[in-house]
C-alpha cells in the first residue's frame, strides 16, 4: 500500500513547481485531499502528515468518517464535492464546512434554511457545466449570473466562487481551455455583478498544472494522494453510487 505521507510530499512538490511556473505564490492554492472510498485510518495518516482539508463525494460515507474522526473535528475541514440531492441537504448543512457542486437555487435555499444558527456560514461554490452536453451537472453559463446573484443573497451561506469538472484530456492546452473559460466567468461575476468571490475550485490529479496555470485557488486531488480507487468508484467524478 502506498504511503500517504510520501504521496502528499510529491503532490506538494508538484504544486510548488506549478506555482513557480505560473509565477504564483504557493500559499494562494489550497490542497484539498479527495478521500472518497478511502478509510478513515488513511485520512488520519494524512492528518499526521499535515493535511486537514478533505473532499468527499457521498454524503453517508462522509458522515461516517466525520464521526470516526470526531476527535480531530476542530482542525478538519470537510468539503462536499459531489452532487447533492435535496433529501440530504440537512445533514450536509449540519456537518460540512464547504459545498462545491451547487447548481440549483432550491438546493442552496435548503442549505441556507438548514444551516444551524451559531455555526459559521457554509462556504459554497457553484458548479458550472463548461463542457456543454458532455455533463448533466452544473449550471449552464447563460444562467450563472442569475443563480450567483440569488445564492449570494442567502443567509447562512457564503458564496466563494466557481467549480467545474471538464472532459478529461491528456493535452495540456486542451486541459487549460475550459479552466480559462471558468476563470473568465469568475472575473465577469466580480466585475459585472460586484460579487466578492475568491475561489476557483479546479484541477484534479491528472491536470493540476493546467488548473494552477489558469488560476486555481483550490485543487481537488484524490488518486495522487491515496492511490487508485476501486473500479466501481473510479469511472467518473460525477457518478453517484448505485446503492
Ligand atoms: C474524485 C474527484 C476528484 C479527484 O480526482 P482524482 O483524479 O482522483 O484526483 C476531484 N473532484 C471531484 C469532483 C471528484 O469527484
pLDDT by residue for the chain (243 residues), tens only, comes to 679 999 999 999 999 999 999 999 999 999 999 999 999 999 999 999 999 999 999 999 999 999 999 999 999 999 999 999 999 999 999 999 999 999 999 999 999 999 999 999 999 999 999 987 666 789 999 999 999 999 999 999 999 999 999 999 999 999 999 999 999 999 999 999 999 999 999 999 999 999 999 999 999 999 999 999 987 654 455 544 433
163 C-alpha to ligand 1 centroid (Å): 12
The C-alpha atoms of residue 51 and residue 44 are separated, in whole angstroms, by 9
Place of cell 449540519: 94
Do 15 and 28 contact (CB within 8 A), yes or no?
Answer: no
* Helix axes of 40-48 and 59-68: crossing angle, nearest 10 degrees: 60
How many residues are recorded in the chain?
243
Q: Which atom of ligand 1 is nearest to the CA of 34?
A: 4
Neighbours of 151 (CB within 10 A): 24
Distance CA 125, CA 147 (A): 11
State the pTM of this model.
0.94
140 within 8 A of 129, measured Cβ to Cβ: yes
Instruction: Report the separation in Å between the CA atom of 194 and the middle of ligand 1, taken as the mean of its atom positions.
Output: 30
Pocket test for ligand 1, best of 36, 55, 125 (most atoms within 8 A of CB): 55
> Is 159 exposed, middle or buried (CB count within 10 Å of its CB: 0-12, 13-18, 19+)?
buried
Under a CB-based contact definition with an 8 Å cutoff, are residues 206 and 188 in contact? no
Terminal CA-to-CA distance of the chain, rounded, Å? 27
Tell me the CA–centroid distance for residue 204 and ligand 1, in Å.
Answer: 6
If you measure from the C-alpha of residue 35 to the centroid of ligand 1, how many angstroms do you get, rounded to a whole number?
Answer: 9
Q: Residue 240: what pLDDT? A: 46
Q: Separation of 118 CA from ligand 1 center, angstroms?
A: 31
Nearest residue to 206 via CA among 229, 226, 182, 222: 222
**pLDDT (0 to 100) of residue 136:** 74
Q: Which ligand 1 atom is the nearest neighbour of the CA of 221?
A: 9
Which residue's C-alpha comes closest to atom 11 of ligand 1? 220
The radius of gyration computed from the CA coordinates of the chain, to the nearest angstrom, equals 17
**Whole-Å CA distances, 54 to 42, 69, 122, 193:** 12, 12, 15, 31
Cβ-in-10-Å burial (0-12, 13-18, 19+) of 49 comes to middle
- Give the span between the Cα atoms of 56 and 113, in whole angstroms: 22
33: helix, coil or strand?
A: strand
pLDDT at 135: 65
Pocket of ligand 1 (CB under 6 A): 34, 36, 57, 81-82, 165, 204-206, 220-224, 237
Q: Which atom of ligand 1 lies closest to the CA of 57?
A: 15
Residue 231 backbone class (left: φ over 0; alpha: ψ -120 to 50; beta: rest): alpha
Say what the pLDDT of residue 208 is.
Answer: 97
Task: Evaluate whether 164 touches 215 at the Cβ level (below 8 Å).
Answer: no
Distances (CA, A) of 196 to 64, 76, 143, 148, 189: 34, 25, 19, 11, 9
Amino acid at each position: 500500500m502506498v504511503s500517504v505521507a510520501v504521496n502528499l510530499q510529491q503532490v506538494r512538490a508538484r504544486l510548488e513547481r506549478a506555482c513557480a511556473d505560473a509565477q504564483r505564490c504557493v500559499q494562494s492554492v489550497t490542497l484539498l485531499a479527495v478521500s472518497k472510498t478511502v478509510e478513515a485510518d488513511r485520512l488520519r495518516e494524512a492528518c499526521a502528515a499535515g493535511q486537514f482539508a478533505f473532499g468527499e463525494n457521498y454524503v453517508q460515507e462522509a458522515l461516517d468518517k466525520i464521526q470516526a474522526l470526531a476527535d480531530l473535528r476542530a482542525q478538519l475541514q470537510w468539503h462536499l464535492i459531489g452532487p447533492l440531492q435535496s433529501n440530504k441537504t440537512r445533514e450536509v448543512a449540519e456537518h460540512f464546512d464547504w459545498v462545491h457542486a451547487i447548481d440549483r437555487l432550491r438546493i442552496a435555499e435548503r442549505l441556507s434554511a438548514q444551516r444551524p444558527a451559531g455555526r459559521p456560514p457554509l462556504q459554497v461554490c457553484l458548479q458550472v457545466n463548461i463542457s456543454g452536453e458532455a455533463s448533466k451537472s452544473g449550471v449552464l453559463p447563460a444562467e450563472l449570473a442569475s443563480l450567483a446573484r440569488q445564492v449570494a443573497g442567502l443567509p447562512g451561506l457564503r458564496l466563494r466562487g466557481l467549480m467545474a469538472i471538464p472532459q478529461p484530456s491528456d493535452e495540456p492546452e486542451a486541459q487549460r481551455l475550459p479552466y480559462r473559460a471558468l476563470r473568465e466567468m469568475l472575473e465577469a461575476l466580480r466585475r459585472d455583478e460586484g460579487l466578492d468571490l475568491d475561489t476557483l475550485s479546479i484541477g484534479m490529479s491528472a491536470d493540476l498544472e493546467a488548473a494552477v496555470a489558469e488560476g486555481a485557488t483550490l485543487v481537488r486531488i484524490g488518486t495522487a494522494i491515496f492511490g487508485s480507487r476501486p473500479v466501481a468508484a473510479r469511472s467518473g467524478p460525477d457518478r453517484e453510487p448505485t446503492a
